[in-house]
Amino acid sequence: MVTKTEYQQIQSYVTLDGSQIRELMHPRVNKNQAQSLAEAIVPPGGKTRLHRHLRTEELYHFTSGHGLMTLGDETFDVRGGDTVCIPPGTAHQLNNTGDIALKLLCCCSPAYSDDDTQLLE
C-alpha cells in the first residue's frame, strides 16, 4: 500500500515552539506508524521558543537559510545542508540570523505530539 502526501494539499500551522510547521507525514493523518516528518520554517529575525521533548528523538535537516541552534548547553551555527540529532529530553531552540527563511525537515520518533513538548521559556 502506498502512502503519499502532496505538499500543496497540506495546511501549515504554528506549533507550540512558534515555528510554522507543515506535517508531511504523521500517523494522526497517514498510515505510517512510528515517526513523523515535517517541514519547519523560521522567518528572518525569528526564533523558536526554548523547549524539549521528553520521549521523542528528533533529526533536523536544514534545507535553506542559516541561524544559530541551541542544543543543551551548546550554541552553534546551522545552515542548509546541516543535520542535527536532538536526543529526548534535550532543550533546543532555533534563531534565524539570516535574511531568508530558515527551512528544515524535522523527523520525529515517536511521532511529534504537543503532549510531549515542554516549553522552557
Indicate which CATH number applies to the domain containing 17.
2.60.120.10
- Stretch 85-89: mean pLDDT: 98
Whether 17 is in a domain gets the answer yes
Residue ranges making up the domain that contains 110 = 12-119
At residue 45, does pLDDT exceed 80? yes
Question: Torsions phi, psi of 116, nearest 5?
Answer: -95, 5
**What average pLDDT is seen over the chain?**
94
Question: How many domains does one find in the chain?
Answer: 1
Tell whether 90 is covered by a domain. yes
**How much is the average pLDDT of 20-27?**
93
Please check whether residue 110 lies inside any domain of the structure: yes
Strands laid side by side in the 13-14 sheet:
13-14, 20-25, 36-42, 102-109, 57-64, 83-86
Q: Average pLDDT, stretch 63-69?
A: 98
Q: Does any domain span residue 67?
A: yes
- pLDDT of the residue at 2: 61
pLDDT of residue 1: 57
User: Would 48 be classed as within a structural domain?
Assistant: yes
Across the range 85-91, mean pLDDT stands at: 98
Residue 36, pLDDT > 60, answer yes
82 domain-assigned: yes
For residue 16, being part of any structural domain is answered with yes
pTM value is 0.92
- 53 found inside a domain: yes
Whether residue 87 has pLDDT greater than 80: yes
